């Protein structure tokens, strides 16, 4: 059999790294991309075919596609869009440049990469496009406006793409994790410090009364329902190999719970339930 190939983004740690290692061990030709060149070199030393890909840089995305197809001989079985970050904080404290940057990284870059790979998938008559979304892609929670917005956008985009590709041989799936044990929340603290001027905020009292401590604490400890990144990889493998992959894959019980509550509770009740999250 021809070796199956996949491009995975965000492989420096967490979900992307676990997926790359697992699929590599199973015999896949894995193109593992990272935003940082130092992480690329680290993965190369580990034995991966690794490339640099920065979703916020259109030239970087174009170069990554060229390098990927050069590594695979011009074909590709799947892409796993995964690399993303959060900027925690109240919506009114997020400056426009922060929202622009996170949409470039979490949404526009994903569209750009997927679109550039479409001619290859079309020519082959098959392909798998898997998007790593979140429980926050269908259930909003406070203090997460930037991330909520990008994931809600991703879900609408992916649902549309899946319908448009119906019957083409190209399958599209969403993976929607809840809390996963990664560096994600620690990285989010850095983004908060880069973008949010909380000391000048009208909500400064809220920050000092507990919100700031909550944001800082989010990078440590274990969240209820938290699983390791291998839980996401398990769903990814099904999306890659099933004859009829699912449109959505929930990961962790908080995601299952949120999905169930949205089906039975009115919006006002959901707001009351989640406003302290």
The pTM of the full predicted model, rounded to 2 decimals, is: 0.94
81, 132 in Cβ contact below 8 A? yes
The per-residue pLDDT for 220 is 53
Portion of the chain with pLDDT greater than 70, in percent: 97
The per-residue pLDDT for 218 is 56
The per-residue pLDDT for 118 is 98
Mean per-residue pLDDT, 113-142: 97
Alpha carbon separation from 172 to 26, 72, 120 (Å, rounded): 22, 21, 15
Alpha carbon separation from 260 to 148, 173, 179, 257 (Å, rounded): 19, 20, 17, 5
Extract the tokens encoding 221.
């400890």
Tens of pLDDT, residue by residue over 202-228, are 999 999 998 888 777 655 557 889 999
Residue 13: pLDDT over 80:
yes
Closest CA to 224 of 265, 168, 277, 149: 277
Give the DSSP H/E element, type plus range, for residue 153.
helix 145-164
Sign of CA pseudo-dihedral 182, 135, 193, 36? positive
Cβ-Cβ contacts under 8 Å for 268 (sequence gap 6 or more): none
Mean per-residue pLDDT, 128-139: 98
Tens of pLDDT, residue by residue over 18-46, are 999 999 999 999 999 999 999 999 999 99
Alpha carbon separation from 267 to 11, 143, 165, 259, 274 (Å, rounded): 36, 18, 32, 13, 11
Tens of pLDDT, residue by residue over 87-116, are 999 999 999 999 999 999 999 999 999 999
Give the DSSP H/E element, type plus range, for residue 30.
strand 29-34
Portion of the chain with pLDDT greater than 90, in percent: 87
Q: Where are the alpha helices (DSSP H) in 26-108?
A: 37-45, 58-72, 96-103
Average pLDDT of the chain to the nearest whole number? 94
23, 30 in Cβ contact below 8 A? yes
Greater confidence (80 vs 218) lies with 80
The per-residue pLDDT for 187 is 86
- Measured CA to CA, the distance from residue 91 to residue 156 in angstroms comes to 21
80, 100 in Cβ contact below 8 A? no
Which residues are annotated as catalytic?
147
Tens of pLDDT, residue by residue over 237-272, are 999 999 999 999 999 999 999 999 999 999 999 999
The per-residue pLDDT for 184 is 84
The per-residue pLDDT for 1 is 52
């Amino acid at each position: 059999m021809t070796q199956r190939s996949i491009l995975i983004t965000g492989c420096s740690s967490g979900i992307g790294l676990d997926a790359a290692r697992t699929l590599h061990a199973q015999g896949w030709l894995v193109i593992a991309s990272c935003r940082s060149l130092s992480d690329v070199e680290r993965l190369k030393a580990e034995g991966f075919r690794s490339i640099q890909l920065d979703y916020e840089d259109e030239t970087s995305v174009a170069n990554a596609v060229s390098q990927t197809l050069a590594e695979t001989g011009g074909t590709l079985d799947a892409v796993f869009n995964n690399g993303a970050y959060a900027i925690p904080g109240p919506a009114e404290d997020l400056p426009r440049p922060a929202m622009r940057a996170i949409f470039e990284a979490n949404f526009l870059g994903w569209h750009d990469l997927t679109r550039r790979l479409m001619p290859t998938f079309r020519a082959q008559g098959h392909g798998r496009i898997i998007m790593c979304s979140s429980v926050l892609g269908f259930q909003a929670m406070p203090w997460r406006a930037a991330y909520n917005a990008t994931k809600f956008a991703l879900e609408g985009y992916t649902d549309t793409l899946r319908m448009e590709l119906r019957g083409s041989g190209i399958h599209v799936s969403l993976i929607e994790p809840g809390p996963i044990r990664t560096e994600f929340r620690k990285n989010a603290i850095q983004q908060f410090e880069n973008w949010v001027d909380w000391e000048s905020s009208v909500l400064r009292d809220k920050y000092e009364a507990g919100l700031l401590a909550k944001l800082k604490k989010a990078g440590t400890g274990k969240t209820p329902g938290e699983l390791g990144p291998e839980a996401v990889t398990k769903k990814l493998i099904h999306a890659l190999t099933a004859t009829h992959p699912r449109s959505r894959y929930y990961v962790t019980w908080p995601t299952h719970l949120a999905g169930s509550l949205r089906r039975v509770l009115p919006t006002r009740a959901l707001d009351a339930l989640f406003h302290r999250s």
